[in-house]
A and B are shown apart, each in its own frame.
Chain A
């Protein structure tokens, strides 16, 4: 519990890799998933996309876009959500939540790009979008914003590795100072770019009104994606915190532990309001687009499941949990919201996409596609663990205490 238990790398002992070689079940599972993932990676890049996926001409975007990209980006919204709350809105008691949130956001976006390389036919040509900019394309905007935001996140995150390495390489302190001074500008940059690309992920589907079921297609899809990303951001901070408390509790300092519960309750309250707003937006949109008849169909039932059990229910649970200051309810609501976001993105990109086609032509991801998605998530967790074991993310570095 106390500060002295935390292993802080020193000038002479920069690395703390012992945790990875412990004979624990987690490490074993990680090793197996990474090994399987590497094998599939080799197959994917030597035999082609068709060799490992169920993608087809009617379903060119499957699991890798629907989960790794759409869910990955929205679930990494915790970065902008927390920094805006702490630095812009002045909620200083979120401070200990900022670094973990920025770290996971940075990792999330990095691995979104990594996963995207699997899905692209010509992964090495990704920079072509800057050489031959197709400015009429929503995807161009997404790419531009994600690339810029990833840079912003890298700069924001870089403070942690700087503090880790500063003992050995003192010149890094100048960079750290510069970044800390630019915090507000970076935060505003971040929220602007996040607004743009979170919403643009919804705009991607605006061009395909005939393919997406009317209950999900709406001219307001950009807004839905953005608003739900806020709820996703708040929920992911709680959700990740839940696992962090289980796995890397011994890297949290007193400040972090003291503020952790308050962060959960504050974020729960915010998420509750946002989810209610999102529910009303979706419901009103359904009514004004005269989609009520669709609600009484098979897809309508599925839409109701999403709306009631994955939007309204977590909203109510969050409200109850934050008012009663009940950590368990809040955490359940967070998991519920995260699942809801995943369900919504799956609906838009796969389940309600191509709804009019006969079921024989519909898509279901192959085992290998799912394996790669699991592989990517495992890489994120492993990278997160490496960072937490080495850098001051869950604790304040003694050399930089109150230096912000």
Chain B
């Protein structure tokens, strides 16, 4: 292959990739994995919610969940703060804003880029093109890291189940969506507090409601950006002039400090360092090993040289001493001295 040919191939590859990028852009707008443009969502208008628990009842029915101890008609359960569990995929809680009762429905928010899916090490969670976050229990190991990761405390676990305990949460009624039906809770709501639609449309609807009713709503669509954006979003009543802008959300128990990026991204830096460590640590420690080995070798050589020098010195000393003895006491005495001295040195060496 010559240079021209290579450049031609490179050029056409570039054009192709540019084209495909353009296609993705045309289809998806700004790309944030795995955000699906045109996906569905639900807007929960808490100013309309009356806490009738019809959504809870419908959810229980369409998903064939076990009957709760207290009937759905008993509205006193709203007095205690509840959360979703393995057998209650949605619950309605009561809050107080500006001295008035406000009800908020809790369920899985169906994040654009869900923390649970990012955290699952067996790929049980999936963000579907229709907007729902689905869970496949058939490969679930039951580690419950998804529950640690979920910033909304949505998934519940079947702790009472001995042999097939699974994580359970709102499915966005994905099977019903496929049949062209509304989610159970949305269908059951008598106050029109839950609006189903395309997520992009819902944001426009929310803004329109704010514009139409000045002073009624807090200027914040919860879930538009929180935790990277969620399919289910919430409108809250205005908190009153004194409160902080996000006070309305906090009054409804909504965390406004999650940031506007997907939760999973918080771990990507640490995960990105893994290949770096794998690549560099062996070099680092291999180098340390080489240095310590070299140091040992130098030390050994120096020691040997020193010993040799000492030995030479000693031999010289013995010889000169023996020479002197030979001069004064004769050769026999010198030999005795030589023998005795080398014996003494040998002994010393033996002890070391």
By a beta-carbon cutoff of 8 Å, the part of chain A in contact with chain B is: 45-51, 53, 55-58, 60-61, 84, 87-90, 119-123, 125-126, 128-129, 131-134, 136-141, 143, 184, 187-188, 191-192, 195-196, 199-200, 203-211, 219, 222, 358
Instruction: Check if A192 sits within 8 Å of B142, measured CB to CB.
Output: no
B285 A125 Cβ-Cβ under 8 A: no
Contact between B83 and A58, CB atoms less than 8 A apart: yes
**In the bound complex, what is the Cα–Cα distance between A140 and B123 (angstroms)?**
10
- Told that A120-B142, A134-B120, A138-B271 touch, could you supply 17 new A-B pairs with CB distance under 8 A? A46-B162, A48-B162, A60-B144, A120-B143, A122-B140, A125-B139, A132-B123, A133-B121, A133-B123, A192-B277, A192-B282, A192-B285, A206-B266, A207-B118, A208-B149, A209-B257, A210-B258
Q: Are B118 and A136 in contact (CB under 8 A)?
A: yes
Contacts of B274 in A (CB 8 A): 141, 196
21 contacts between A and B (CB under 8 A): A48-B159, A55-B157, A56-B159, A57-B153, A61-B144, A87-B289, A88-B285, A88-B292, A90-B292, A121-B142, A121-B143, A131-B139, A134-B121, A139-B143, A200-B270, A204-B148, A206-B266, A206-B267, A207-B115, A210-B151, A219-B266
Alpha-carbon separation in the docked complex, A50 to B157 (Å): 10
Find the B residue at minimum CB distance from A119. B143
- Which of A136, A192, A205, A208 has the most CB atoms of chain B within a 10 A radius of its CB? A136
- Chain B residues with Cβ below 8 Å from A47 are 162
Residues of chain B within 8 A of A53, CB atoms compared: 159
B141–A121 touching, CB < 8 Å:
yes
Give, as a whole number of angstroms, the nearest-CB distance from B78 to chain A: 17
Q: How far is the CA of A137 from the CA of B144 in the complex (A)?
A: 12
Distance in angstroms between the alpha carbons of A123 and B163 in the assembled complex? 10
Instruction: Let me know if A209 and B266 touch, CB within 8 A.
Output: yes
Question: Is the CB–CB distance between B148 and A61 below 8 Å?
Answer: yes
- B347 at interface by CB-CB < 8 Å: no
Q: Which B residues are in CB contact (< 8 Å) with A191? A: 281, 285
Contact partners of B237 in chain A: CB under 8 A: none
- Bound CA span A208–B255, Å: 12
Q: Is the CB of A49 within 8 A of B141?
A: no
Chain B residues, Cβ within 8 Å of A128: 122, 139, 141
Residues of B within 8 A of A (CB): 81, 83-86, 115, 117-124, 139-145, 147-149, 151, 153, 155-166, 255, 257-259, 263-264, 266-271, 273-274, 277-278, 281-282, 285-286, 288-289, 292-293, 295-296
Q: How far is the CA of A98 from the CA of B251 in the complex (A)?
A: 58
Which chain A positions have C-beta within 8 A of B286? 188
B165 touches A48 (CB 8 A): yes
Interface contact B83-A184, CB-CB below 8 Å: no
Residue with the highest number of chain A CB atoms closer than 10 Å, among B85, B140, B151, B285: B285
Q: A132 to chain B: which residues have CB within 8 Å?
A: 122-124, 139
Q: In whole angstroms, how far apart are the Cα atoms of A278 and B117 in the complex?
A: 33
**Complex CA–CA separation, A191 to B284 (angstroms):** 11
- Decide if A207 touches B159 in the complex (CB within 8 Å): no
One of B148, B149, B165 near A49 (C-beta < 8 A): B165
Interchain CA distance A221-B53 in the complex, whole Å? 42
Report A202 CB to chain B, min CB distance, Å. 8
Q: List chain B residues, Cβ under 8 A from A139.
A: 119, 121, 143, 145
Residues of B within 8 A of A119 (CB): 143
CA A232 to CA B21, docked complex, whole Å: 50
Least CB distance, A262 to chain B, in whole angstroms: 18
| In the bound complex, CA of A387 to CA of B295 (Å) | 36
Pick from B142, B155, B269: contact of A122, CB below 8 A: B142
When distances are taken between beta carbons in the complex, the residues of chain B under 8 Å from A84 are: 285
- Residue of chain A at shortest CB distance from B268: A136
In the complex, A138→B156 CA distance in Å? 21
Chain B residues with CB under 8 Å of A203's CB are 267, 270-271
In the assembled complex, the CB of A50 is this many whole angstroms from the nearest CB of chain B, namely: 3
User: A50-B160, A128-B122, A191-B281 given as contacts; is B288 within 8 A of A89 (CB)?
Assistant: yes
Report Cα–Cα, A137/B146, bound state, in Å: 10
Nearest neighbor of B143 in chain A, beta-carbon distance:
A120
